[in-house]
Amino acid sequence: MDISKFIDYTLLKATSSERDVINLCNEAKLNGFYAVCINTAYVALAKQLLDDTSIKIASVTGFPLGATSTAAKVYEAKKAVEDGADEIEMVMNLGFLKSRNFVSVLKDIIDVKLAIKDTPLKVILEISELNKNEIIKACSICLDANVDVIKTSSGFSKSGATLTATKIIKKTIKDQAQIMVSGGIEDYETAMKYLEAGADRIGTSKNINPASSSLQTRNAKIYKKYLDANHKQNNSEAQYSKMSQELR
């Protein structure tokens, strides 16, 4: 099964450079991933790189803790959309949730949702910090706020997605919103287990598309063959042209 259309290819490390973002976008284009997910500082760059593709640009607000003020989340989300983001991910305020201040949790989400208008909104629950009842309550609040996607994890907490939590979310929300899993999904087999458990999207910083691996292996073999040939034939322009055609 080709899972490329389920993948949000993610780069959210604080040390990510412009070159890293360029590489991320190029790999996303090569593999036909659904989206890239990047920090707000690089949204404009990604927009330039992906403007001629159907690949979505997702960006984050209140990331990774969710403890910033609602006003700060709103500003960052609006700026990301202005710069070209197609989707926004916000982290739920877990302190409010743990305090059972559910009205504030809901308002936090709704204010961001209203600020970005028709732009899809994902809410990150950070399931590693929640018990079963808290996961269910968090999902219910997300549905009340008309969230588009409920995401398990930021990838920056003590652990990421679990099959158990994914099934709890699916049972709670049914088909009223999409489910995105992330954190610790580093191979094709694991991704398939989550899709079978009810996930609609996969967030990962690893290129887990099997087709990509075989394509890269094939291209490496072609490149080596012509490198050897060119060494013997004095690097003729015709040989390089032929190699370029085969690599396409």
Six token digits for residue 12: 């959210």
Two tokens at 124? 């990150």
Q: What are phi and psi of 86, to 5 degrees?
A: -95, -20
Check if the beta carbon of residue 21 is closer than 8 Å to that of residue 45.
yes
Say how many Å lie between the first and final Cα of the chain, rounded.
22
The number of CA neighbours under 13 Å toward the Cβ of 221 is 6
Phi-psi region of 82 (alpha: psi -120 to 50; beta: other; left: phi over 0): alpha
> Is 154:124 a contact under the CB 8 Å cutoff?
yes
Catalytic residue list:
89, 151
Structure tokens at 195: 């899709």
Supply the DSSP symbol for 43.
H
Residue whose C-alpha is closest to residue 125's, from 177, 78, 75:
177
Beta bridge mates, 151: 124, 180
